[in-house]
Amino acid sequence: MSGRFKSSKVTRGGVYKRRGRPGRKITQIKDSDLPPVEDVEMEALKRTEADVGITEYIGAHKGFSAVIKQRYSDFHVSEINQEGRLVELTSLSCDIESQAPKTFGKDVTLDDCNDLTPEVKDKLIQMEKSDFSNVEIEVTNMSKDERKRIHETIKNVFGARVVSNTIEKEEKKIMVIGKPKGKQRVDDWTQGKGRYVYFVLYKENMDTMEAANIISHKLRLAPGKVTYAGTKDRRGKTTQLACVPHIHPKKLVELNTAVRNITVGNFSIHKNPLRLGDLRGNRFRIVLRNVTASDDDVEEAASTLKERGFINYYGLQRFGSTSVPTHHIGRALLRSDWKEAIELILKPRAQVAVHSKFKKPNHSLEDSLAKARKIWWETRDSHAALQALGNKPRGIEGQLLLGLKRHKPNDLVNALEGISLNTRLIYLHSYQSYVWNHVVSRRLKEYGYKPIVGDLVFDENDGLDEVSETIDELTENEEIVAESLENENKEEGTSSVSQDRKYLVTNNFN
């Protein structure tokens, strides 16, 4: 989010409703139910805060002008995780043994298995340390539960380094315990801590979706497998958490030499994936240049910011950094105008960024995407456009072009499903942010800054932790709505989410 206060007058240098089950009615949202979006295309650098609903100030002091983001190094963003700690890149080591327990899920040793004799336990220890032959245990007279406990103990103690199987041999049941043979995968580096690898992603002059697409391409992951808690500005130096499923940190570290402007490190293992909204906030360090104000004016503005805070607007970065604003795409998806959404995503851009280059001579992903967009725009031939990307679904455009190629010309919904869920969520969140900014501005224009019925206010008599938890629950509303929308087609009857969404829009803009 971006704040706006009196002294900050500065110049700046996707989800959609799936098809229902047969016979199910899909509620259409009328154009009149939605706030208008400017149809005239504008270059990103010329987009103003007023264009996205940011019009009010919280301070009454004398304002001043300045330049923000004249250089991308003037803008630093560090994510704050759910525990309230600042996300920082402090280690590039791929060694995660110190972060994962030695045992599988909990502290278990061979001594915990009373079904094994001391002799067998000694053989297992020797086998694990050397090339000792397989250990065989007769389990004919053991129950299924007893055999299961032995298998679980072996797995918990040794992980994937040792395997155990029960076989029939000379009319007896024999449990064979030994090292994996042949090309059997030995994969015990997670040690049972989980299957999701979290890492700190540091990037420069690149937006989060672009960085995630590059990482997934380099790791040969399906689109959307690289997840993150929130999007960060393109023009800046940003640090945030990201997540991939079951990729060894050794492979992730290779990104540091294979891709420009991206550095990863501080690896850890977790049981659950990182999702949008899994953060407390962000910390900013911002340089203002060409300040047209006296020291006294700047001091007064800083004091007002400290004492009164700022309006919790969504800033320009929320709406994209290209000539096609992301909230335009979000609005098209919300209206179920799939054709318009596809047109906007594949529309040639007014500007081309040149920073997202792979370490290959004269090769730029952005250049390839620009060529693919141009081919599709002129020919509407998804196959030919995809060839410009090497027939690979690179970037959001590549994902969409592959979807268009695989499905029938009129099957636009399934084509759009080729785009990762996170990206579709971001398009929807962008339009929600557009609505939020307009609602906040209208609220302040009509009622001023004093609390009215319906406002959430901080009570100094209550504990901060309790209020923080309440705010956290409210700010998670977008995630809840998104998950509900994603599961609409799994439920019977008309979705209440659509009605709530329609109510929100119509009651604020009619």
| Backbone angles phi and psi of 109, in degrees to 5 | -125, 170
d(CA 9, CA 12): 10
Q: DSSP characters for 140-191?
A: TTS-HHHHHHHHHHHHHHHGGGSEEEEEEETTEEEEEEE---TT-----TTT
d(CA 126, CA 132): 7
Instruction: Please report the pLDDT score of residue 170 as a whole number.
Output: 80
Which CATH number applies to 79-95+198-285?
3.30.2350.20
Give the residues across from 358 on adjacent strands: 259
Low-confidence ranges of the chain (pLDDT < 50): 1-35, 37-44, 97-107, 186, 352-363, 463-464, 466-510
Where does residue 37 fall: left (phi above 0), alpha (psi -120 to 50 degrees), or beta otherwise?
beta
Active-site residue, 33 included = no
Helix or strand run (H / E) with residue 298: helix 295-308
| Backbone angles phi and psi of 390, in degrees to 5 | 75, 25
Contact 397, 341 (CB under 8 A): no
Contact 78, 86 (CB under 8 A): yes
CB environment 340-360: b (16+ within 10 A), e (fewer):
bbbbbbbbbbeeebebbbeee
DSSP conformation class of 61: S
Instruction: Please report the pLDDT score of residue 366 as a whole number.
Output: 76
Torsion sign over Cα 274, 215, 190, 145: positive
Contact 17, 485 (CB under 8 A): yes
Q: Which of 33, 74, 233, 278 is catalytic?
A: 233
Strands (E) located in 233-300: 237-245, 262-270, 281-286, 288-289
Assigned CATH class of 110-178:
alpha beta
Q: How many CA atoms lie within 13 A of 205 on its CB side?
A: 15
Structure tokens at 203: 């990037």
Domain with CATH 3.30.1370 in the chain: 110-178
d(CA 160, CA 158): 6
Instruction: Please report the pLDDT score of residue 173 as a whole number.
Output: 85
Alpha carbon distances (Å) from 110 to 95, 103, 224, 438, 476: 26, 11, 41, 64, 45
Length of the chain in residues, anyone?
Answer: 510
Structure confidence by residue, pLDDT tens digits, 244-274? 998 989 999 999 999 999 999 999 988 889 9
Instruction: Please report the pLDDT score of residue 456 as a whole number.
Output: 84
The SS3 assignment for 54 reads coil
Place of tokens 């979290």: 198
Instruction: Please report the pLDDT score of residue 224 as a whole number.
Output: 82
Domain with CATH 3.30.2350.20 in the chain: 79-95+198-285
